Every structure is written in structure tokens, then in C-alpha cells.
Structure 1
Amino acid sequence: MEISTPNNVILHKYTLADFRACVIDRLRLDGNFVEPYKLNDFKPAYGLLFEEYIAGYDYFGWGDIDVIFGRVDHFLKDLLGKWEVLSFSEFLPSNHFLLLRNTHRNRSLFQQIENYRTLLQSPDHQAMDDVAFSSVLMSQPNVWFEELHSTPHIHWRTWLDGTFNFPTRWTWNNGQLTNNLDIGYEFLYFHFMVWKGGYRDYYLPSPNWEGLPASALIVDPAATAFTLSPDGLKTKAGDKLRPLLKAGLDASPVYSLRRRLRIKRIGLGL
């Protein structure tokens, strides 16, 4: 099936068998045991494993597929070129979207993880991308770790205004990503893992997409705007872009009476 992509997106066909062979060839590890979820442990090594694909680019990185991006260039134009690592989570690498300057040193940073070969060789998931790689990255010079509030409903992480009230609807409009709570702000990206359903002990309870028909989770690829909510995805008419503050980079909203009333109106509770 032919997939239409923007001009700045290149798709490479790559199978799990290809990945296993690459692990054997470049890391000198037995890659035959690697299953899909184990790929998370290999993320820190992606720069080396996929070296030929990122040649010529200033930065490389990785991300998840349960992400809706906003205006990435608008957010990053003043950050790229200044930092070796860009993480959009304050306490851990934002592995749903993480960037590293494309240097041999950064492509090899994973080798600083203690016992990295043993951890990678284990067939079990070791959370290398989150736990083990975190201390390595944060100990490097010239790294940027800031909370840009991409992943709501985590039970230990407050939202943009310092509360545990979270948006219930997000809107992508011609690239600009907003929600129904943080009026006047746009976001770099939205990680909608909580709405996919399934048990996650670090998420607060929320309505989700379990039980919805597949048709509720599809939008026209040519749509200029759509919304995401616990009810699914819905196409809508696009509007002109508005001048908005950048969430996490510009001043955070004040938890005022007006904001309390908005929270109550959209059904989040006080």
C-alpha cells in the first residue's frame, strides 16, 4: 500500500528480522531473541544501529507512534544548535520524542550504561531507555531537560498550572496543537497513551478508547484539523493560526478563579 507523506518524511522498510541482523552485526550481540517490546531497550543504541539513515543530519532521535505533533519548528528554532540533548520531560529522557546532536560521541553514549551488553542481551525488558540511560544523559555537558507537558494524567506529575486537572480534548489545526483547558497556549506534542486503554499504574483513571469502533479512531489524512478526546478522533474544519504562548517555554497559566470555572465547566472537577 502506498502511503502519502510530507516532503520532509522518508519511510524505510525495515523488518524485525532486519533489526535482529543489525544487532548481531553492529553490537556483536545475539539479536535472535529480540521481540518488539525489547526495542525500547535498544533506543539508546539507535544512533549506532541506524547510522547510515541519519548521516548528514544535525540531530537524531527517536519517538513513539502514539504522539500528535504540533509546530515542531516553531518550538525548537531557538533550541536547535545550542544543546547536545533535548528532552521535553524534566526528570527523565522524553523517549516519546528525544533529540541528540548527531555526533559519534552521542551515538555511542549508550556504551556508558553500566553492564549495557548484559542488559541488552537479556530477553526481558530492562527499561534501559528510561532508567539506565537517564543518568548517562543528565551527566553530560550542555543538555536541556525541561517539562513541556506532553503527557497528561501521570499521577505524580502536575499539569501546566501546577494542579492535577488535565485537558479532555485536544485540537490539531494546520499544525498548531491546543486543548480545551490551557487557553492561549499551544503545545509541542501530545502523547495520548492514557486514552489507548489498558492498565498503567502511573496514570490516573481516565475514560479511554477501549470499546470504541475502529471508525472512531480514523481521520482523513488530508484533513486540515481534527480533535482527540476520550470519544475518539473527529475531523473538523481548519482555522487560521493564532499567536499563542508556547507551553513549557513561556509563562505558565495562573490557577485563578477564571481557570477554576473553566475546569468545572469542562467536567474535570475541582
Structure 2
Amino acid sequence: MKIGLVCAYFGRFPSYFPLFLLSAKHNPNFDFYIYTDNQGPWDVPQNVSIIQCHFSDIKKKIQNLFDFSVNLETPYKLTDYKPLYGQLFQETLKSYSHWGYFDIDTVLGDLSLFASNEDLHTFDRIGSRGHLSIFKNSTKNIFAYKDFPIGKSFTYKEAFSTNIPCHFDEMWGINNIYRNGNYTYKDEVERNSVKYFDASPKAYPLVSVDNHGFQDNPANFTWKQGRLVEWGVSKNMEISYLHLQKRKMTFFMENLGSESFLIDQSSIIQQEVEWTSIEDNLMMQHKNWPDGNIHHLCKYYLTTILSGEQLVKLKLKVKK
């Protein structure tokens, strides 16, 4: 089986984008298509395609699919349109057994931990988050976004008719369609089987949004030749990927040759430390982690208030 994943990203890439490319290289069963206005040079592996285009090109391509006016004024709003990528990029994805969407503010480990062969055979959809979701390449899944979501959610027309982020790619749209419709769906959060680390934008240390044993404690990570390991205060585990949620990271490109990195809350460096040093670093973060949170909390709530996202949350709370 072969999986084709799509990301449309406009604006400056994260500083660690070269590490994303290197980590993608170690997942040969996945092909990654990145539509962007960024220009290299980069060391692009064979399973990654970078397609040069403008935001206006994608907007026009989306508008051509509908007989009503879509509201798409900023690149961030593209998150709501991810569930239609199977239709939007159908020509590119037609030869794959599965298609999906992903984010580039990630460092990938072994993605088979996220989607095993058994999972790929069994489920229509794997994953409940916009930073990585995988679908069987069928007509039913390509047009699933048009189904009516049950519960406190938006229909695709509601989500596509406002420029306010509606999280249609996640809990306020496509998740409820798959959860309540005629689909087989692996929701890793509901199953308490999260195999990735989604770093909270509300905290300075690397604290997980989804609780899988590390939510209350900071973590560090090591990446070595395609293997990503999460080092917690009390235990460690191999994970499928790390989502850094637009976090600013210090990263030095000359380190790429080592294929061995240590990742903490603010930097990605060549791994030259002992495991005991990592544990000491974690204990220090655990002791002092509230100190750096004020800036991250203020940034998070200011951003979501200005975008209208907090207002959308209030509307959904009163929606029947």
C-alpha cells in the first residue's frame, strides 16, 4: 500500500524544515506533496514533491468546486478545507491506496506506528487531527466532507462561508461525520492510543495536548535515523511524529549530516549528550515549567480572539 499526503503551505517555512524533509525520507511508503510559494534550495528526497504555486491558485481551484462563494482570505483558513483535499488533488492522488493531509511544523518518526498495515486495511480514516489524517482512497471518503455532521459541528457550507477558522478538519466538522456516519474510523484520542506528541501552544515546555502519559510533565525528544523517541520525566517511548504547533525553534542546518538530534522546548541540536543529561534537563523543566508560560498563553488567546476562533467556540456551546 502507498499513501499520498498533501500540505498546502504559504508563508515562511519553519526553521527546521530541512529536518522535516530528512524525516520524511525515512518513510518511503509515504509520498509527500507540498504546495507552496517558498523557494529552496533544499535537499528534497525522492518521496517529497514541492510544487510551486500561489495562495490565489489554490483559492481559485477550491472555488471552482462549488456553486457558492467560498470565504478564503488567509492561508491559515486552508485548515478548514483539508477534508476536501482528496477531491481537490484527485488527479495527483488517484494512484494511491490512501490519501491524507499533514502539517510541516512536524518532525516525523516511524509513521507505521501511526498507521499500521492492519489499520490501513481496516479503517476508512486513521487519525483525528489536522496535523495528520489518512483516508482510504474511495469515492465515499473523498466526498465524506459533504455529509451532515451530527452534534455541535459545522456543515461544510457553514465552514467554507466564513473566514473564521472553524476546525472543520477536526472536532467541529469531519470528526463528527466519521464518528457518527457509516464509516470505520480510528480515533486515536478516544481509544487512548495516541502515538504522536502534539505540543501545546499554551505552554513553553513541550507539554502534550493529548494525554498519553505525559500531559502534566515536560518532555524532550531524540531523533536518530528515522526513529523518534520521547523522553519523559518518568518513562520514554518511541512515537510516530512530533507536532510543534508553529513553535519557534533554533535549528542549525549544518547539523543535518549527523542524522541524530536532540529536541527540547526551543531548539534542535546535534545529539552530543548522555541520557542522564536529558533526564537532568527534564527534571529542571518540570520544576520550573510555569515560568515561561505567560508569554505562550497570552499569544495563544490573543491569536484565537483576533481570528474569531473564541467566538466560534461560544457559538458551538449554545448550538443544539
Q: Normalising by the residue count of structure 2, what TM-score does the alignment of the two structures yield?
A: 0.61
Partner of 1:145: 187
Distance 1:152 1:236 in 2: 21
Distance across 2 between alignment mates of 1:5 and 1:14? 17
2:71, 2:211 → 1: CA distance?
A: 42
1:64 to 103, 121, 128: 103
1:180 to 231, 234, 246: 231
Residue 244 of structure 2: which of 192, 199, 204 is its match?
192
Determine helix, strand or coil for the equivalent of 1:135: helix
Q: Which residue of 1 aligns with 2:88?
A: 49
Show structure 2 runs of 5+ residues with no match: 1-39, 150-154, 189-193, 274-278, 289-320
Give the counterpart of 2:176 among 118, 132, 135: 135
Higher fraction of helix: 2
- Distance in 2 separating the partners of 1:31 and 1:165: 42
- The one-letter code sitting in structure 2 at the alignment partner of 1:135 is N
The answer (yes or no) to whether the contact 1:219–1:226 under 8 Å persists in 2 is: no
| 1:134 partner amino acid | N
Deviations along 1:178-212, one digit per CA (max 9) or x if unpaired, are 1222645200111122744xxxxxxxxxxxx5xxx
Output the CA distance in 1 between the equivalents of 2:52 and 2:246.
Answer: 29
For the structure 1 residues 74 and 231, does the alpha-carbon distance in structure 2 shift closer, same or farther, using more than 3 Å as the test?
A: closer
Gap regions ≥5 residues in structure 1: 88-92, 197-208, 210-215, 239-260
2:253 aligned with 1:219, yes or no? yes
User: How far, CA to CA, are the matches of 2:179 and 2:56 in structure 1?
Assistant: 33
Distance 2:71 2:210 in 1: 41
Given that residues 38 and 124 in structure 1 are in contact (C-alpha distance below 8 angstroms), is that contact kept between their aligned partners in structure 2?
yes
SS at match of 1:79: helix
CA distance in 1, matches of 2:72, 2:187: 33
1:33 deviation in Å? 4.3
Distance 1:5 1:162, change over 3 A: closer
State the distance in 2 between where 1:125 and 1:161 align. 30
User: d(CA) in 1 for partners of 2:214 and 2:261?
Assistant: 27
Query: What CA distance in whole angstroms lies between the structure 1 residues aligned with 2:112 and 2:62?
Result: 33
Equivalent residue number for residue 243 of structure 1: none
Contact 1:42 1:129 in 2 (8 A): yes
With normalisation by structure 1, the TM-score equals 0.72
- Cα gap change, 1:113/1:35 in structure 2, threshold over 3 Å: closer, same or farther? farther
Larger mean Cα displacement after TM superposition, 130-139 or 217-226? 217-226
Query: Structure 1 residue 83: deviation in Å?
Result: 1.2
Q: 2:26 aligned with 1:4, yes or no?
A: no
* 1:160 maps to 2:202: no
Distance 2:209 2:56 in 1: 38
Sort the Cα spacing of 1:163 and 1:156 in 2 relative to 1 into closer, same or farther, 3 A: closer
Kindly indicate whether the alpha-carbon contact (under 8 Å) linking 2:72 and 2:78 is maintained by their aligned counterparts in 1: no
Residue 150 of structure 1 deviates from its aligned partner by: 1.7
Aligned 8 A contact 1:159 1:166 in 2: no
Contact 2:198 / 2:210 at 8 angstroms: preserved in 1?
no
RMSD: 3.0
Alignment partners' CA distance in 2, 1:268 and 1:118 = 42
Task: Tell me by how many angstroms 1:266 deviates.
Answer: 4.8
Q: Secondary structure at the match of 1:190?
A: strand
- How much does 1:149 deviate? 4.3
Q: In structure 2, how many angstroms separate the alpha carbons of the residues matched to 1:22 and 1:111?
A: 17
More strand by percentage: 2
| Match runs of 1:1-270 below 5 Å | 1-31=40-70, 33-73=72-112, 75=114, 76-87=116-127, 93-113=128-148, 115-130=155-170, 131-139=172-180, 140-146=182-188, 147-153=194-200, 159-161=211-213, 164-167=216-219, 169-181=220-232, 183-193=235-245, 195-196=247-248, 216-220=250-254, 221-236=256-271, 265-269=283-287
Judge conservation of contact 2:113–2:239 (CA < 8 Å) in 1: no
* In structure 2, distance between residues paired with 1:264 and 1:37: 33
